[in-house]
């Protein structure tokens, strides 16, 4: 029986994939796996039982990924599962930044009398806006979300220019050839009337929108941030909005300092909040975690390499080890010492850690226990799991 702890509202369509005869949900303090959305796990002491954490979403900055690697906990996310939801809200943000729709709708509710229609026609000029068609949209980060926005903004009549020095080949294939490729962020800032950012928070991107970034923007440009609050220095953007250098700042990340400013549109982290995205993310998170717990195979991990091998032997050893020389040699020789036959072995690394799967022939329990203990003693082994078919 695997124990799974959940945080935040995880759609039932995902949770119901964890069959009741094999999985217990939110029972006890020793989970094998965690499924969460935006709950912050920084500072959490990991129970020894914990093997995997699945983020039902794209960003993993609420999970202490490095500490997870050290503890041998595999962290997964759900690439692309909520991208369409974010794309749609960004398109709404582009239009809301261009036309005072919300203000107009609030005003119309204040009217009364038989001549509401006449009052509307007389007063509506205060709510005229501009169009996005013909304007230039700069996109920083052409991943799952940025690439969808690029294609649709182009279809809506915008000139689109994108910057992403690490774009994946798969995503690049999906981006319309009409989307121009910028060589630098400076090129985007020089040309764009609207700038939208879709990069993860990393040491490189943290606070990327600062005074120097804003200084390079076209006067009166609009900035949209549906990626993460930490990417933008709030003091800098508030000052720029107040001075009129930035026409509007549209963000999905609330902070008290951003509220009650007519030129800052704050959404309550709604980017992924659609029925479809919540279901997609929950299903992908549950499937990925289940696959890992049951087979040891890793897909969609942010801290360990993809290792996806059909299990053809009765016993699998799934080992997390430091990425240092001679780990596989030492593990193999421990098995050889006990005349245990290896049917398949694979070792892949990602950064400072590696994952090794060793499929072996049927082995008596006492012998298996002994060899597992010996492998655990090898310097550089983080943890080892025995999975039976």
Ligand X SMILES: O=C(O)CC[C@@H](O)C(=O)O
**Residues 124-183, interacting with ligand X (CB under 6 A):** none
Partner in contact with 37, chosen from ligand X, ligand NAD, none, beta carbon below 5 to 8 Å by kind: ligand X
37 versus 135: smaller Cβ distance to ligand X: 37
Q: Which residue is nearest to ligand X (CB)?
A: 57
Partner in contact with 167, chosen from ligand NAD, ligand X, none, beta carbon below 5 to 8 Å by kind: ligand NAD
- State the nearest-atom distance from the C-beta of 205 to ligand NAD, in Å: 5
**Residues 255-294, interacting with ligand X (CB under 6 A):** 271-273
193 versus 278: smaller Cβ distance to ligand X: 278
Partner in contact with 229, chosen from ligand NAD, ligand X, none, beta carbon below 5 to 8 Å by kind: none
Q: Which residue is nearest to ligand NAD (CB)?
A: 143
Q: Answer yes or no: 228 catalytic.
A: yes
- State the nearest-atom distance from the C-beta of 236 to ligand X, in Å: 23
Q: Answer yes or no: 155 catalytic.
A: no
93 near ligand X (CB under 6 A): no
166 versus 339: smaller Cβ distance to ligand X: 166
Which residues here bind ligand NAD, judged by CB under 6 A? 57-59, 79, 82-83, 86, 140-146, 163-164, 166-167, 171, 198-200, 204-205, 226-228, 252, 269, 271-272
Q: Answer yes or no: 269 catalytic.
A: yes
Active-site residue (options: 256, 260, 262, 366): 256
- HEC profile of the chain: CEEEEECCCCCHHHHCCCCCCCEEECCCCCCCEEEECCCCCCCCCCCCCCCEEEECCCCCCCCCHHHHHHHCCEEECCCCCCHHHHHHHHHHHHHHHHCCHHHHHHHHCCCCCCCHHHHHHHHHHHHCCCCCCCCEEEEECCCHHHHHHHHHHHHCCCEEEEECCCCCHHHHHHCCCCCEECCCHHHHHHHCCEEEECCCCCCCCCCCECHHHHHHCCCCEEEEECCCHHHECHHHHHHHHHHCCEEEEEECCCCHHHCCCCCEEECCCCCCCCHHHHHHHHHHHHHHHHHHHHHCCECCECCCCCECCCCCCCEEEEEEEECCCCHHHHHHHHHHHCCCCEEEEEEEEECCEEEEEEEECCCCHHHHHHHHHHHHHCCCEEEEEEEEC
182 versus 199: smaller Cβ distance to ligand X: 199
Residue positions annotated with a catalytic role: 228, 256, 269
Q: Which residues of this chain interact with ligand X, rule CB under 6 A?
A: 37-38, 57-59, 82, 271-273
């Amino acid at each position: 029986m695997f124990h799974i702890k959940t945080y935040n509202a995880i759609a039932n369509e995902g949770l119901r994939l964890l069959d009741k005869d094999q999985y217990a949900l939110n029972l006890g303090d020793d989970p094998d796996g965690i499924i969460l959305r935006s709950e912050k796990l920084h500072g959490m002491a990991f129970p020894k039982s914990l093997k995997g954490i699945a983020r039902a979403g794209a960003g993993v900055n609420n999970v202490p990924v490095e500490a997870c690697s050290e503890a041998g906990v595999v962290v997964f996310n759900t690439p692309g599962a909520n991208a369409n939801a974010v794309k749609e809200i960004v398109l709404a943000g582009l239009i809301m930044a261009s036309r005072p729709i919300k203000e107009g709708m609030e005003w119309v509710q204040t009217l009364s009398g038989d001549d509401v229609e006449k009052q509307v026609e007389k007063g509506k000029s205060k709510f005229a806006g501009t169009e996005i068609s013909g304007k230039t949209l700069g996109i920083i980060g052409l991943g799952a979300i940025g690439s969808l926005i690029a294609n649709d903004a182009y279809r809506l009549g915008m000139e689109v220019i994108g910057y992403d020095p690490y774009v994946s080949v798969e995503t690049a294939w999906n981006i319309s050839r009409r989307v121009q490729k910028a060589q630098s962020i400076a090129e985007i800032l020089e040309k764009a009337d609207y700038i939208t950012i879709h990069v993860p928070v990393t040491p490189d991107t943290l606070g990327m929108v600062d005074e120097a970034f804003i200084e390079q923007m076209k006067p009166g440009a609009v900035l949209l941030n549906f990626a993460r609050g930490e990417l933008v220095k709030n003091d800098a953007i508030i000052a720029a909005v107040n001075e009129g250098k930035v026409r509007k700042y549209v963000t999905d990340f609330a902070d008290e300092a951003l509220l009650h400013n007519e030129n800052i549109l704050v959404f309550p982290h709604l980017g992924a909040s659609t029925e479809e995205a919540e279901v997609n993310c929950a299903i992908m998170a549950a499937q990925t975690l289940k696959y890992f717990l049951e087979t040891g195979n890793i897909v969609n991990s942010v801290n360990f390499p993809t290792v996806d091998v059909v299990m053809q032997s009765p016993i699998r050893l799934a080992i997390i080890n430091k990425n240092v020389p001679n780990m596989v040699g030492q593990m193999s020789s421990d098995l050889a010492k006990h005349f245990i036959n290896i049917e398949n072995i694979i070792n892949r690394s990602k950064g400072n850690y590696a994952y090794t799967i060793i499929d072996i022939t049927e082995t008596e329990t006492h012998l298996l226990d002994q060899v597992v203990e010996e492998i655990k003693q090898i310097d550089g082994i983080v943890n080892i799991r025995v999975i039976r078919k």
